[in-house]
Amino acid sequence: MKVLTIGDIVGESGVKKFKEELPKIRAEYNIDFVIVNAENSAGGMGITTKIFNDLLNLNVDVITMGNHTWGKKDIFSFIDHPKLLRPANYSKGVVGKGVGIYNCKDKKIAVIDLIGRTDMNVLSDNPFTKVQSAIKNVKDECDIIFVEFHAEATAEKIAMANYIDGKVTAVYGTHTHVQTADEQILENGTGYITDIGMTGPIDSIIGMDKEASIKRFVTSLPERYKLAEGKCMLNACIFEINDEDCRVTSIERIIRK
């Protein structure tokens, strides 16, 4: 089985790039299951009903969110859709769900969406304690477990991967929008990469207009972010899984410009 994980879609131009590239990647690599992060897909913050429906029409299997989950009020009209996940470690009682179980090729795949706490400016429960309870709740119901960790700090992501190594099939990071070159299979068999990157404008600072972004750092004053324009790239990662023992056998990074 091959699972394709798509890095954070940034803006409507990122959505367009995703639409163009997904059918090609599916055909080229014989992809079975697709997870895409869409928390930045609407103007760089949140997701709209239109974009959500566009992604569903592409037959993606899971749409994940992160710190910009509530960026567009549209989401409250489809937050309970079975293909949509928001971070599982949001406070108890928050609408939506952070864990889903899906069928694929006679296997059941659990996907757990988590958000980090280091430098994220989001009030959330401890992802390390939450992931333990989430794994316990799904392990007897599924064959494969994927954990998406939407986090800023590299150390926090690596710590999470090692914390649950051997208990899940794969852990991959999102949020920083920069694809890392550290794909590996950990000691106890869990596949891991710190960040799968983004799908959005190339000539940018993590998808945002360069001038506005630089001004924030130079002046230390608040400056409204705006999306960059121009040619886009798609970042993704393919996890190949052995059908017999449901372990990751290989990890391949994808960059499409």
Catalytic positions, written as ranges = 68
d(CA 101, CA 84) in angstroms, rounded, equals 11
Task: Give the pairing type, strands 62-64 and 84-85.
Answer: parallel
d(CA 247, CA 196) in angstroms, rounded, equals 19
Q: What is the largest CA-CA distance in the chain?
A: 56
Token digits of residue 222: 């608040």
List the Cα angle 116/64/201 in 5-degree steps. 90
Task: Find, among 169, 237, 159, the residue nearest to 198 by Cα.
Answer: 237
**What H or E segment, with its residue span, contains residue 8?**
strand 8-9
Contacts of 232 (CB under 8 A, 6+ apart): 13, 14, 16, 17, 199, 200, 201, 202
